[in-house]
Every structure is written in structure tokens, then in C-alpha cells.
Amino acid sequence: MNHIEIYTDGAARGNPDGPGGYGAVLKFVDKNGELHMKELSDGFDKTTNNRMELLGVIKALEALNHPCIIDLYSDSKYVISAFNEHWIEGWLKKGWVNSQKKPVKNRPLWERLLKAAEGHNITWHWVKGHAGHPENERCDQLATTAADKDPANLLHDDGSNLKEIC
């Protein structure tokens, strides 16, 4: 399996319900030692930071064509803790109910993330945001630039119909 590094970030202006965006950087070194990089981003009209954090990871994973060994880096404790602290397993066991006995927010995105992660061997890494990490800084720039696009060019995120926004 190929080894891929993925870096992601999400941003929202006026969180919640302001414009937002995600950014992702995928890095792969082929068998000849050549570095390949791909950047992904897009902006949405009314969304939340957490939705954009999730969408950055989803879109990066969905861009892969084959099962991979992945080191995934994000400054989102929301995303990273869900895997490293096993929140996901608890939500699945409890029928998508959290520890406060309330429905898990953003369930359709979490379900989509789980589907996108299938077949991959992912190690989840938290990085401190705005701390000079080059790839994290680039993802932040991609996400905020996408969030700041002309409102006429932002996609619609109504929180329910993911086919509309992706």
C-alpha cells in the first residue's frame, strides 16, 4: 500500500451559520522518490467550523483511488479525538447518541467520513493550529480563502443534503 500524508483544516466566518471553507493537502512520494502533492478546497455559504473540518478530511480521503497507509494531520480536536479517544465506537454502539444522551451533531458527515476511511490504514495526528506547521498553515490559507470567496460563488450547505454541497 502507498503511504500518503494528508493535512486538513476548516474555517468558518461568523461560526455558526457564516461562510466557511475547507482546505486539504495530500502528499505522496513515489517509488522513484518524486514528491506528488494535491491541494483541495471549496467554500460554503452558511456552515460551521466543525462541518468544514469534517469535510476537509472527507474530501481528501475521497480523492484517493486505492487503499493507503495514511498519516492524517488536523488541528481539529473534534475530528482527531473522535478517532483517538474512540468517540466513534461509542456513538455507533449507542446508535449515534453522544455521552450527553443527545444525537451526535453532523451525523451524515461522520457517516460519510467513515465510508471514505474504509480500506485505509489511518493514523490520526493532532497538530496545534497557527503554530507555524507549514502544511497546516497552507490548509488554513486554503480554507480561509475559500470561505472569503464572493458569496455568489459559495456552495450551499443546508446541513442535510450532502449531495448538494459535495
pLDDT in tens, the chain (166 residues): 899 999 999 999 988 889 999 999 999 999 999 999 999 999 999 999 999 999 999 999 999 999 999 999 999 999 999 999 999 999 999 999 999 999 999 999 999 999 999 999 999 999 998 888 899 999 999 999 999 998 888 888 765 434 333 3
Residue tagged active-site, from 10, 21, 43, 56: 10
Residue tagged active-site, from 9, 42, 135, 157: 9
Based on the structure, what is the number of domains in the chain? 1
Q: What is the pTM of this model?
A: 0.92
Helix (H, G, I), strand (E, B) or coil at 124: strand
Catalytic site residue 30?
Answer: no
Q: What is the CATH number of the domain that holds 94?
A: 3.30.420.10
Question: What domain range includes position 112?
Answer: 2-165
Residue tagged active-site, from 42, 135, 140, 157: 140
Cell representation of residue 58: 472527507
Q: Is 140 annotated as a binding residue?
A: yes
Give DSSP secondary structure letters for 12-39: ETTSSSEEEEEEEEEEEE-TTS-EEEEE
